[in-house]
Chains A and B, each alone.
Chain A
Amino acid sequence: MSRTRAIAWLTLAAAAVPCWANTDWELDLDARLVSSNAEPSFMEGGLGTTRFSSNDDGLQLGRARLALTQSLGDLLSAHVDASIYDDKDRTPVGVTEAWLLFRPYPFAGYRFRLKAGAFYPPISLENRAPGWDSPYTLSYSAINSWLATEVRPLGIEGTLDWLGTRTGHRFDLGVTAGAFGWNQGTGVVITNNGFSLTDRQTPLFGRVGQPGADPLGGAEPFLQFDHHAGIYGGIELRYLDRVVLRALRYDNRAEPAGDEVTPPNYSQWTRFNTAGVRIEGDHGWTAIVQWLDGETTTVADGVPGGVSSWPFRSEFALLSKRLGRHTISARYDRFTVDSVGAWGYGAQDGHAWTAAWLYDITSHWRMAVEWLQVVSSSSSREDFGGPPLLTETQLQLSIRYSLGSGIY
């Protein structure tokens, strides 16, 4: 199915939705004009750190997206988020999130929610717009780009909130715990390519890289190799509607195994801690700081005792100012991947600056301009004959049209 036909199907599906009862829907079409001097990205089998490379100069599809939320009685709802990215994935249309949500009404100041399906853990303070998009920049931070690429638990998540602000207090407090599977390939992109800054979200059971193209070769992050369930647990503290503080521990608890055991993929034991804070003030100011520190471990085939680990870490700080229909944002990212053990491959160190201006022309049309520069050193790039230190710059102009039951 071609990309054009896929977009046509999404649009037709959206046109049919208003006929369904109690269905909320959203449709986005985002076109980009791109100028980039970057190396090919991991989706093109390269080691570039941006979504678009110098091969992509010109008109590109940013994203075509259809999301449906269907109430199933008063306490249950189902949500599906499907997207098209023009990036040679296995199928042109992919589902990025799909879940069932059980949400009983709050009682005596407490609220419990249970989610089952495929979804992002409650980590990002940046990706708060519909479709797990960022309302501040086109490209996500390195941390959230990595989550978009490789982290998508398939499982269940329970959240208990104390709604203090609804009972005369100034704070809300929430605790979350999740158990999941199909994240045992998670870490393969960090291992081979390191961090990048992109806004492509790998669809469920989607592919990263291209078959036969080093270094990723069309690996799949969303796989299950053994009987271990992954777990995560986190807390969230809020002060009024102004400050959100989140911390979370994720561990996929995979048994590390090389591709001789799990052909053609690797089983990667990936775990990380992350914490962040978002502060929103008067006059449209937003500041976000987030930190993530983890490690992924797998086995290098053919190397005796070949267990290798890649400790990775990233931080970013974002400052944004909303002026009526305009949003101006700047972000600084820093990231590093070490390579420890038999493999000796995949170390990376870098930083990035992002500046973006987003303009909501109407409730349906949005224009955006983003400049992104990534400076990175990469041992993988050096191994493949590239320069050890590289500065990649990507400039994007985006026009997005949105329709939906909540967009007037």
Chain B
Amino acid sequence: MGALAALVVLWAATFGGVPDAEGATLVIHVQTSEGHALPGAVVMAQPLDGTVRKVTPLRAVMDQVNRAFAPDLLVIPTGSTVEFPNSDSVSHQIYSFSPTKRFQLPLYHGKPYPPVHFDQAGVVTLGCNIHDDMVAYLIVTDAPFFGRTDGAGVWSSDVTRGRYRVTLWHPRLRDNEADLERELTVGESDRVELTVRLTKALQPAPLTDRPHSWDY
């Protein structure tokens, strides 16, 4: 039994990450203007050759815990819904005035509210009308391949072969997003890598070590 398990692990390690004959692995490295890895950047790869791959909408959750959004950034496909349950015992009033989705949501402890439907691609900035220091982002995307860079500033996905537009987003980005768009072709190779380096320094990170009860 032990030998069989070892064989399965060996098979998975050897072949598990290799895409089938129709696809390849797209690897995007995101670097700051100083050349350091940028973790947490949103990467979206949109096919340009007319192939449409429908992504199943998600049912995501963005909670409110200790006067903060948890998580404070979600990437969701167009058509997804997000639930805002409020695990705090204090009230929150969530809002967005972003053109992508305008909504207002009074959240009282123990009073669930129906999930919000996001049917248009774009960036949704969320705030709380009671607690000014609360901020979160929803990135709604039509791209079939998306995700966030890991601690090494790398995002990868198995994609079908073809031509792609790769776009980036990060809450601290000062570059014009259009300047960071790249087009590439995933052709014969099984692995296509691209490095995108920002041209401007990131704006300072939000301060995290101050109590939420203080005036912002």
Contact = CB atoms under 8 A, between A and B. Distances in A.
Interface of A: 21-22, 24, 71, 74, 77, 103, 105-109, 111, 128-130, 135, 163, 165-167, 170, 240-242, 280, 282, 284, 322, 405-408
Contacts of B204: 240, 242, 282
Given A74-B93, A242-B204, A406-B67, A166 B127 contact: yes
A166 B66 CA distance: 21
A148 to B, nearest CB: 16
Contact of B95 (A105, A129, A242): A105
A405 B207 contact: no
Given A106-B127, A280-B210, A406-B67, A240 B203 contact: yes
Contacts of A135: 211, 214
A284 B88 CA distance: 25
Interface string B85-118: 0001111010101000000101010000000000
A166 B100 CA distance: 13
8 contacts: A103-B130, A106-B95, A111-B129, A129-B214, A166-B97, A406-B67, A406-B88, A406-B89
Contact of A170 (B93, B125, B127, B203): B203
Interface string B195-216: 0000000011111011111111
Contact of A280 (B67, B89, B106, B207): B207
A130 B213 contact: yes
A26 to B, nearest CB: 8
B60 interface: no
A282 B206 CA distance: 9
Given A24-B90, A241-B206, A406-B90, A106 B97 contact: yes
A322 B212 CA distance: 14
- By secondary structure, the B interface counts as loop
Interface in B161-216: 203-207, 209-216
Contacts of A130: 213
A128 to B, nearest CB: 4
A107 B97 contact: yes
**9 tightest Cβ-Cβ pairs between the two chains A and B:** A128-B215, A105-B104, A406-B90, A74-B106, A405-B89, A128-B214, A105-B95, A24-B90, A166-B125
B203 A166 contact: no
B82 interface: no
Nearest to A286: B210
A22 B108 contact: yes
Interface string B61-98: 00000110000000000000000000011110101010
Nearest to A129: B214
Contacts of A167: 125
Nearest to B66: A408
Contacts of B135: 165-166
A170 B174 CA distance: 10
Given A71-B106, A280-B210, A405-B90, 9 more contacts: A22-B91, A105-B129, A129-B211, A130-B213, A165-B135, A166-B135, A282-B207, A406-B88, A406-B90
Given A166-B97, A241-B206, A242-B207, A106 B129 contact: yes
B52 to A, nearest CB: 30
Contacts of B90: 24, 405-406
Given A106-B97, A166-B97, A284 B209 contact: yes
B210 A129 contact: no
Contacts of B213: 129-130, 406-407
Nearest to B103: A105
B119 interface: no
Contacts of A111: 129
Of B67, B95, B104, B213, most A-chain CB atoms within 10 Å: B213
Contacts of A240: 203-204, 206
A280 B216 CA distance: 11
B133 interface: yes
A18 to B, nearest CB: 9
Contact of A241 (B97, B108, B127, B133): B133
A324 to B, nearest CB: 8
Nearest to A238: B216
A250 to B, nearest CB: 19
Contacts of A24: 90-91
A166 B93 CA distance: 16
B67 A71 contact: no
A363 to B, nearest CB: 9
Nearest to A124: B215
Contacts of A284: 209
A241 B208 CA distance: 10
Contacts of A170: 203
Contacts of A77: 130
Given A166-B97, A280-B210, A71 B89 contact: no
A242 B207 CA distance: 8
Of A135, A166, A284, most B-chain CB atoms within 10 Å: A166
Given A406-B67, A406-B89, A71 B97 contact: no
